[in-house]
Structure 1
Amino acid sequence: MAEPTSTRHLGLRIGCAGWSIATAQQPLFDSGASLLERYASRFDAVEINSSFYRPHRPQTYERWAATVPADFRFTLKMPRTISHHARLRKAEPLLDDFLAQVAPMGDKLGCLLLQLPPSLAFDGRVAGAFFKRLRARWNGGVACEPRHASWFAGPADDLWLRYRLARVGADPAPCPAARHATGEPALRYWRLHGSPRTYYSAYDDDALRAVATQVSEETPNGAEAWVIFDNTAHGHAIPDALRLQQLTAMPEPVEQTQPRTVHTRSRD
């Protein structure tokens, strides 16, 4: 099996939404006791979306964290009870329950992801109150994927910086500005859902090269960047993520040696 391509020196984490591995893709990974362990032999990040639909026991999160290497990180999608049902209002008990469930992950929990419904327009008072309460409970990375056009106008820009939020760059984008990752300078986050058919389409080499260029241009020096492939329906996420690893890899530095001095003897 080919050695995994390292992107850690770029501050870049590339992974998939979930760690399902199709049978045909299994030779790309090392052996392991679980699919997550095998997945972690090639990737250093994963996004868990099942937490959006249902709660998991703390013991489950603890087991997942214990399965992966020390430098591996998880993103957890925040429950839809917060984003879609409560719509960010009076969500403190829901936040407390969720954060208590995920606490056993410890420092393996690298980021929380909040995906908002397309119908949720920006309301500065509601959003500000929610993120203030979230920040009182969680000091780590937070990425937010709004999908209503009002979140991409000027009034929302202050929100990202005030509460240290990374605004997700998404493909397909609900509006042109949504394809760009911005917000908190220390964190950039992209979610690639598949285009033109969401969740199903693969990305060709030209598209992946464009992603690599965009990540390079939009990630500040010293920031951590995440690129998550969510085009999982036909199994394209893994090969696309592995190809992006290759496209973003830097060659190992060539060891420089001192020039040798050649001594010659003059003829008498």
Structure 2
Amino acid sequence: MELLSVTAVGTAGWNVPRAYADRFPQTGSHLERYAQRFNAVEINTSFYRPHRVATYERWAAAVPERFRFAVKVPRTITHERRLENVDEPLARFFDEIAGLGLKLGPLLLQLPPSLPFQSGTSGEFLQRFRRTFSGSIVCEPRHPSSFTPSVNTLLADLLIARVAVDPAPVPQAGEPGGWRGLTYHRLHGSPRIYYSAYRPDVLDALAERLAAEAKDGLPNWCIFDNTAEFAATSDALSTLERLSRDAGRRM
């Protein structure tokens, strides 16, 4: 099995920084150029504001068939309403992202660091979320109460993967959890979150891990979110190069 047929590598957003412009095709929109190098992207703007169905449809039409979009769940649901009384904004969000069609990848549910896991709110929301959406869901909890065996079991039962995040707010957050039919890595930059590029040895280890995960034929995602000074683009390109070298050695 071709490694990159199950491994998705990309960044949060599809900006093509000037410093790396020569690594991309020279014609087309930023998204069109980006999608010729990467096979996935994480849409973060959906967290801050809604997008029209027609906008999602336009984005889907701009990328190759193999390309997939992960979409971040709106902060109205996660941070403002804190998972309560969210039927209306959740339904609206589902209607909007339908514009991506078959190019829709996982939905990313990033929870506030201040939101403890409570079965009456968090648990009920996760069950409602899964009942109304049959596609891939990944969850990035950030409160220590979410990293317990019972919560992990609930996520697994609901077929929701827990994100492996760097830097990890608690030690368990650095490893994937929940449902293991999908692995999703989010790298925010370290030591300076959102800014720092990763050292070559860290990217070597990451690429080895992604290749090992892909051996099982299960999808795995690697999204760089250290975008403040465009380190994400460099790190994602470097990771792709490492994966391509690894695939070449296995042939």
TM-score (norm 1): 0.88
Secondary structure, counterpart of 1:251 in structure 2: helix
Number of matched pairs: 248
Residue 8 of structure 1 is matched in structure 2 by: 4
CA RMSD of superposed structures (Å): 1.6
Cα distance in structure 2, aligned partners of 1:214 and 1:101: 34
Cα distance in structure 1, aligned partners of 2:209 and 2:146: 21
Secondary structure, counterpart of 1:227 in structure 2: strand
Secondary structure, counterpart of 1:239 in structure 2: helix
Residue 38 of structure 1 is matched in structure 2 by: 33
Q: Which residue identity lines up with residue 222 of structure 1 in the other structure?
A: G
Give the number of the structure whose residues are more often helix, by fraction.
2
Q: Which residue identity lines up with residue 93 of structure 2 in the other structure?
A: F
Instruction: Write the mapping of 1:1-268 to structure 2, written as runs, cut at 5 A.
Output: 7-9=3-5, 11-216=6-211, 221-249=216-244, 250-251=247-248
**1:159: how far off?**
1.4
Alignment check: 8 A CA contact 1:47 1:76 kept: yes
Cα distance in structure 2, aligned partners of 1:102 and 1:88: 19
**1:127: how far off?**
2.1
Secondary structure, counterpart of 1:228 in structure 2: strand
1:240-259 CA distance string (max 9 Å, x none): 011111222311765xxxxx
TM-score (norm 2): 0.94
**1:102: how far off?**
1.0
Alignment check: 8 A CA contact 1:16 1:230 kept: yes
Cα distance in structure 1, aligned partners of 2:213 and 2:151: 19
Percentage of pairs with the same residue: 47
Cα distance in structure 1, aligned partners of 2:210 and 2:125: 29
Cα distance in structure 2, aligned partners of 1:169 and 1:52: 19
**1:33: how far off?**
2.0
- Structure 1 residues not aligned, in runs of 5+: 1-5, 255-268
Residue 258 of structure 1 is matched in structure 2 by: none
Cα distance in structure 2, aligned partners of 1:154 and 1:253: 37
Q: Which deviates the most, 209-218 or 191-200? A: 209-218
Cα distance in structure 2, aligned partners of 1:157 and 1:16: 27
Cα distance in structure 1, aligned partners of 2:182 and 2:250: 26
**1:158: how far off?**
1.3
Q: Which deviates the most, 219-228 or 193-202? A: 219-228
Cα distance in structure 2, aligned partners of 1:141 and 1:66: 21
**1:17: how far off?**
0.3
Change in Cα spacing, 1:213 to 1:58, as seen in structure 2 (3 Å) is same
Alignment check: 8 A CA contact 1:17 1:232 kept: yes
Cα distance in structure 1, aligned partners of 2:121 and 2:188: 28
1:187-211 CA distance string (max 9 Å, x none): 1001000000000000011111222
Alignment check: 8 A CA contact 2:3 2:214 kept: no
1:12-32 CA distance string (max 9 Å, x none): 110000011111211101133
- Structure 2 residues not aligned, in runs of 5+: none
Q: Which residue identity lines up with residue 82 of structure 2 in the other structure?
A: R
1:68-122 CA distance string (max 9 Å, x none): 0001000000000100011111211111010111111111011100100000111
